[in-house]
Amino acid sequence: MMSDVLNPPQDNGATISVPLKPLGKVLAVTSGKGGVGKTFVSANLAAALAKRGHRVLVLDADLGLANLDVVLNLYPKVTLHDVFTGKAKLEDAIVRAPGGFSVLLAGSGMVEYSRLTPEVRDDFLRIMNGLVPHYDIVLLDTGAGISDVVLFAVSLASEVLVVATPEPTSLTDAYATIKVLVGQQKRQNIRMVINQTARLGDGRAITTQLQQVLDRFVKTEPGRPLRLIHMGDIPSDPAVRQAVMRRQLLMQSIPGCPAALAISQLAVKLEDTVIAQIK
């Protein structure tokens, strides 16, 4: 596996990631379209899981446009960037977030890492290998879309959670992302959370619809059908924006609101499935 990563097959730079053997206990939170709530879900889900007694780390894997620090109101002295450049040790870059979980923030110097070079792959993999044994679960808050760096980050995860909203643009982008994850990474199970739903049950209907479209148009290997696993809906809730404006976690500042309750349910579901499986 290591050699696959360090010596990826040559390509012309336009296409990317070889399918890698994913590490255990890593959940990539990703999406097709940007701005659908990945960072919000990652941070608050981490808080909900931490509250349930799990050791959780969130890694800001959105290397080019990291903003987990803004959401959590943290100003780390040491970032992933310093670890990548050898200026700091990995353990010094891990900070405690208000929600009782750990975070590894990318920092603003990461722009040069928004392109996937062999060095970035190497650094990223080394860091992940060092981190994973210390936590019950590592959440990767990735960027949106199907850039090579996003796909590489996702390839390091044993589980993928795709965040989508009911908007048609978000759904077509989610479809495109899932198609690539199936084709390139041979993913069989993809977990879905539908964020910003208007009515109860909307999310499940959307996941079912998306599954039908994928079944029709996305070729999978014989005997390895793709399965979307609906993990839950998070309602559209004005409290989310309020918490972001205050730069606080929703789970801490407005824990009883509908979106926070939905995140708690999502945490229980993840605990019963992903964490239970790999612990």
Contact residues toward ligand ATP (CB under 6 A) are: 31, 34-40, 62, 144, 195-196, 234, 236-237, 240-241, 244, 259
The CB-of-125 to ligand ATP minimum distance in angstroms stands at 22
143 is written with which tokens?
């960027």
**What gap in Å lies between CA 41 and CA 122, rounded to an integer?**
28
- Our CB check for Mg ion shows the closer of 106 and 257 to be 106
- Our CB check for Mg ion shows the closer of 24 and 145 to be 145
Question: Which residues, listed in sequence order, are joined to residue 95 by a DSSP beta bridge?
Answer: 103
**Strands, E assignment, the chain:** 26-31, 56-60, 94-96, 102-104, 137-144, 159-164, 189-197, 227-235
Q: Is 211 in the site for Mg ion (CB under 5 A)?
A: no
- Among ligand ATP, Mg ion, none, the one that 118 touches (CB under a kind-dependent 5 to 8 A) is none
The CB-of-67 to Mg ion minimum distance in angstroms stands at 6
At 152 the three-state DSSP class reads helix
- Number of Cβ within 10 Å of residue 217's Cβ equals 9
Q: What is the pattern of x (binds Mg ion, CB under 5 A) and - over residues 19-58? A: -------------------xx-------------------
Query: What one-character DSSP code corresponds to residue 88?
Result: S
66 is written with which tokens?
């990291």
DSSP 216-251: HH----TT---EEEEEEEEE--HHHHHHHHHT--HH
- Among Mg ion, ligand ATP, none, the one that 128 touches (CB under a kind-dependent 5 to 8 A) is none
Using CB under 5 A as the binding criterion, the count of chain residues that bind Mg ion stands at 2
Residue nearest to Mg ion (CB): 39
**What gap in Å lies between CA 67 and CA 264, rounded to an integer?**
23
- Among ligand ATP, Mg ion, none, the one that 25 touches (CB under a kind-dependent 5 to 8 A) is none
- Among Mg ion, ligand ATP, none, the one that 259 touches (CB under a kind-dependent 5 to 8 A) is ligand ATP
- Our CB check for ligand ATP shows the closer of 5 and 105 to be 105
At 172 the three-state DSSP class reads helix
- Our CB check for ligand ATP shows the closer of 40 and 84 to be 40
The CB-of-57 to Mg ion minimum distance in angstroms stands at 16
The binding site for Mg ion (CB under 5 A) comprises 38-39
